[in-house]
Structure 1
Amino acid sequence: MGARTGARTGAALLVTALVAALAGRARACGKTVSGVDGGSPTPSVVGAPTDISVEDANLVKAANFAVVKYNMKSNEAYLYKTERLVTAKQQIVNGVLFFIEMYIGKTECRKTGSEQLESCAFVSPTEVKHCNFKVLTIPWKEECTLLSDTCSSIR
């Protein structure tokens, strides 16, 4: 075996080792690279929104905050409250950003400023809106901000 053949074999081994190392590094970063190791991309990428349970305590607080803010800015005479949380995602940014899909229902309580929303009964028949809220929470500053709300009547 000549010097050139040995050099080519060494270079081929180096390239193989590099591809294997990169494949391992890609998996460690939250995804795999298709074609390198035969894997398919996974949905988890650091910093990307991730699905969370609609029963998550912090999500429920963010959803309640969103509904209170929605009630404050709406021109409705009656309050709305959470009927059902559908899906949610969270993203870690300079705090926690919640993407919330939910249904809210009209209650029998008028906007007076003194009502306890939890004790308000839904009107019958229920008037429901489908909403998407984006809420930013900064827990260490005890801050919450409703960044966006989109609601449309469905019944």
Structure 2
Amino acid sequence: ILMMEVTPVLAMPGQPTDAQVNSPQVLAAASFAVDEFNRGNLGDPFLYKIVRIKSAKVQVVAGLNFFLKVQLGRTTCRRSGSTVKSSCNFQSPRKASLRCQFTVTEVPWEGPRYRLMEKKCTETKV
């Protein structure tokens, strides 16, 4: 008798479905997206970090696509690297808040594991 272990799939292939915004996979994809955003946001001397993840969808492809809607806030940390440390506080009062849409592809068996496929951010008033 052949026995197989079945692992539940997050979604049907090709169909985006809602994902928990606080799941480890969503948090990792969002963190990667913000690091990439900061790396490319050369016009601002300050780094941004996540205020909150507003929504997340996941799509099963050859890997996973994450469709993220994220609110970012400008921190007090100046650009000396591209990653935000947990000790970076938000500017007070918050001088810049961004509403961003990110598409991140995760392919665990390839390097690099994550790729930022799309980013679109607009400034919002807080």
Normalised TM-score (structure 2): 0.83
Per-residue Cα deviation, 1:19-61 (whole angstroms, up to 9, x for no partner): xxxxxxxxxxxxxxxxxxxxxxxxx864210000101100100
Q: Extract unaligned runs of 5+ from structure 1.
A: 1-43
Q: Extract unaligned runs of 5+ from structure 2.
A: 1-10
Give the whole-Å Cα distance in 2 for the aligned partners of 1:130 and 1:61.
Answer: 18
Structure 2 residue corresponding to 1:49, chosen from 16, 20, 27: 16
Q: Is the 8 A contact 2:71 2:97 kept in 1?
A: yes
Q: Structure 1 residues 90 and 111, CA, compared in 2 at 3 Å: closer, same or farther?
A: same
Give the whole-Å Cα distance in 2 for the aligned partners of 1:141 and 1:152.
Answer: 31
| Partner SS, residue 62 of structure 1 | helix
* Higher Rg of the two aligned structures: 1
Structure 2 residue corresponding to 1:153, chosen from 110, 123, 126: 123
Q: Is the 8 A contact 1:109 1:115 kept in 2?
A: no
**Which residue in the other structure is 2:80 paired with?**
112
Where relative contact order (Cα < 8 A, 6+ residues apart) is larger, the structure is 2
Q: Is the 8 A contact 1:99 1:132 kept in 2?
A: yes
Give the whole-Å Cα distance in 2 for the aligned partners of 1:93 and 1:115.
Answer: 28
Q: Which has the higher helix share?
A: 1
Shift of 1:125: 1.0
Per-residue Cα deviation, 1:70-100 (whole angstroms, up to 9, x for no partner): 0000121100000000000000111100000
Moved more, 123-132 or 140-149: 140-149
Q: Is the 8 A contact 2:66 2:103 kept in 1?
A: yes
Residue 76 of structure 2 aligns to which amino acid in structure 1?
A: E
Normalised TM-score (structure 1): 0.68
Moved more, 112-121 or 86-95: 112-121
| Partner SS, residue 70 of structure 1 | helix
Q: Which has the higher strand share?
A: 2
Question: In the comparison of the two structures, how many residue pairs are matched?
Answer: 112
Structure 1 residue corresponding to 2:31, chosen from 64, 69, 81: 64
